[in-house]
Amino acid sequence: MHPPPQPLSNIELDTLDEFLALPALEETSMDVGVLDGYLTAILLSPRLVKPGLWLARIWDMENARKKPRFNDEQQSTRVLEFITRHYHHLADEIIKPTPTPTLVPVFLRGAQWGVSEWCAGFLLGTAFDRDTWAALMEEQPEWFTPLQVLGMGDDDDIEEEYPDLDAAFDAVMVAVQAIGQHFRAEREAGPDPRAVDFSAPAPQVNEAPKTPRNALCPCGSGKKFKKCCGHDERVTN
């Protein structure tokens, strides 16, 4: 049995946010709202994603190349401990023997962590298993509508779809609960994420996980990747 992980307090989450907002990282790193959604998607996925793959994107969301600069070993230990504890706490909540995950996203814990940022992080977390998530987006598009509108839409889209913030919160929670239940059996048949070794050396990751050009676009548009987000990628490259 794994002892229940101690969840981060709001003060500890604020401390982590302050580190991620330091000048050396603020242009590329996640904030705590994005991080919480990102880890939630990674842990809801039926396939285990090892920390060596996802840790690098906390500091550099787009390229996974920039590394954090810590003042000293104490700061390094503290920041990585906060991330590890938060990961294990979310894993424990998702794995609990209840009909659906008992998650409390950070946007319900404080107004400083936005639901839009959380949804953007969640969508980013699906990138490590694009085929599985794209298939679910095609099968159950209504589950992903709030995540995509809030995480990718502009302010006008969000205001039109969710004029009431509580309605946005409710829509996201319903979607996450449904996704969690959908993947539950597959997750339970796989390795326990609470036993993940964070001390293992992380492989160098230079590029984002690639989507096959003929696969459905993970943005949920229903179009093939090469005719949607992949078209923009080809043009810019």
Average pLDDT, the chain: 84
**Residue 193 per-residue DSSP state:** G
pLDDT of residue 106 exceeding 90 = yes
Q: Each residue of 48-103: pLDDT tens digit?
A: 999 989 999 999 999 999 999 999 999 999 999 999 999 999 999 988 776 666 78
B/e letters for 21-55, b = 16+ CB within 10 Å, e = fewer, are: eeeebeebbbbbbbbbbbbbbbbbbbebbbbbebb
pTM exceeds cut of 0.85: no
Residue 2 pLDDT grade (very low, low, confident, very high; cuts 50, 70, 90): low
How much is the pLDDT for 103?
Answer: 85
Q: Is the separation of the CB atoms in 54 and 208 below 8 Å?
A: no
Please tell me the predicted confidence (pLDDT) of residue 6: 86
The whole-number pLDDT of residue 219 equals: 58
Mean pLDDT of 188-202: 76
pLDDT of residue 25: 93
pLDDT band at 161 (very low <50, low <70, confident <90, very high): confident
